[in-house]
């Protein structure tokens, strides 16, 4: 039975982050601060043996993956690593969104009981995140892999792995921009993933 690491990286800081933009499918690029974060993240991973890197199709994730791992490994883009779709408030600053709907802040904070018209339910995000996660593990048995994605995607996946109900997704903890979450996957003799252990969530030590 072999073991391998999986790193869940949230993209580095994009345009609109300071204004609490609903950066769901809104395709915001990295800002200078984000590019500096990526350089520090690159240093953090320079001695890690990484075999495969998968990225969300959005610019902020693809650019992060390229800056951190582009010289080490081919980056594969996966549609199902995309962030939650925020419907009519996608790409809108939180202050403006609150004028449009009284529960906008609950949606921004990922409170699963709140549903707005056109917003992808958090339960659907978790379902597609876990499905794609399992597919990637099975395609890379006993290999160290990196998934570069988004906060709601990562927290939804972690809530599933940790056995939390969807309504407690926020109990996973903080997953800030450029953070790295470390998992260990134990494989069976037939090289099927059999046990997943979460070691560290939202690590930002590389920024210090």
Q: Using a pLDDT cut of 70, give the percent of the chain over it.
A: 100
* Predicted confidence band of residue 4 (pLDDT cuts 50, 70, 90): very high
The pLDDT tens digits of the residues spanning 145-157 come to 999 999 999 999 9
User: Which of 196 and 100 is assigned the larger pLDDT?
Assistant: 196
pLDDT at 124 over 90: yes
Averaged pLDDT, 121-150: 97
Sequence-distant (≥ 6) Cβ neighbours of residue 30 within 8 angstroms: 11, 12, 13, 14, 15, 38, 59, 60, 63, 64
Phi, psi of 204 (to 5 degrees): -125, 20
Averaged pLDDT, 93-109: 90
Alpha-carbon gap, residue 150 to 6, rounded angstroms? 15
Q: Sign of the C-alpha dihedral, residues 134, 136, 142, 148?
A: negative
Average pLDDT over the chain, rounded to whole?
A: 95
pLDDT at residue 68, as a whole number: 98
Domain locations along the chain: 3-207
pLDDT at 113 over 80: no
Q: Count of CB atoms within 10 A of residue 103's CB? A: 15
DSSP assignment string, 175-208:
--TT-EEEEEEEE-TTS-EEEEEEEEEEE-GGG-
Classified as helix, coil or strand, 10 is strand
The pLDDT tens digits of the residues spanning 163-175 come to 999 999 989 999 9
The pLDDT tens digits of the residues spanning 45-96 come to 999 999 999 999 999 999 999 999 987 899 999 999 999 999 989 999 999 9
Domain 3-207 listed as CATH 3.30.1330.200: no
pLDDT at 112 over 80: no
pLDDT at 114 over 80: no
Alpha-carbon distances, residue 47 vs 14, 62, 104, 183 (angstroms): 26, 21, 42, 17
User: Would you give the DSSP letter of residue 53?
Assistant: E
Q: Sign of the C-alpha dihedral, residues 197, 59, 207, 144?
A: positive
pTM comes to 0.96
pLDDT at residue 24, as a whole number: 95
């Amino acid at each position: 039975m072999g073991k391998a690491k999986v790193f869940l990286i949230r993209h580095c800081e994009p345009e609109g982050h300071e204004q609490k933009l609903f950066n769901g499918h809104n395709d915001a690029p990295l800002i200078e601060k984000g590019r500096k974060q990526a350089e520090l993240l690159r240093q953090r991973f320079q001695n890690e043996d990484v075999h495969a890197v998968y990225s969300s199709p959005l610019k902020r994730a693809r650019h992060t993956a390229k800056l951190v791992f582009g010289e080490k490994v081919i980056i594969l883009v996966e549609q199902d690593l995309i962030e939650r779709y925020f419907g009519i408030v996608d790409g809108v600053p939180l202050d403006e969104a609150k004028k449009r709907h009284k529960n906008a802040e609950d949606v921004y904070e990922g409170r699963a009981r709140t549903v707005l018209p056109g917003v992808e339910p958090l339960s659907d995000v978790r379902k597609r995140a876990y499905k794609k996660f399992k597919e990637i593990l099975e395609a890379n048995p006993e290999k160290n892999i990196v998934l570069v994605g988004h906060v709601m995607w990562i927290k939804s996946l972690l809530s599933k792995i940790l056995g939390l109900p969807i309504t407690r997704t926020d109990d996973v903890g903080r997953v800030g921009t450029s953070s790295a979450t470390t998992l260990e996957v134990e494989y069976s003799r037939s090289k099927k993933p059999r046990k997943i252990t979460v070691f560290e969530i939202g690590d930002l030590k590389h920024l210090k």
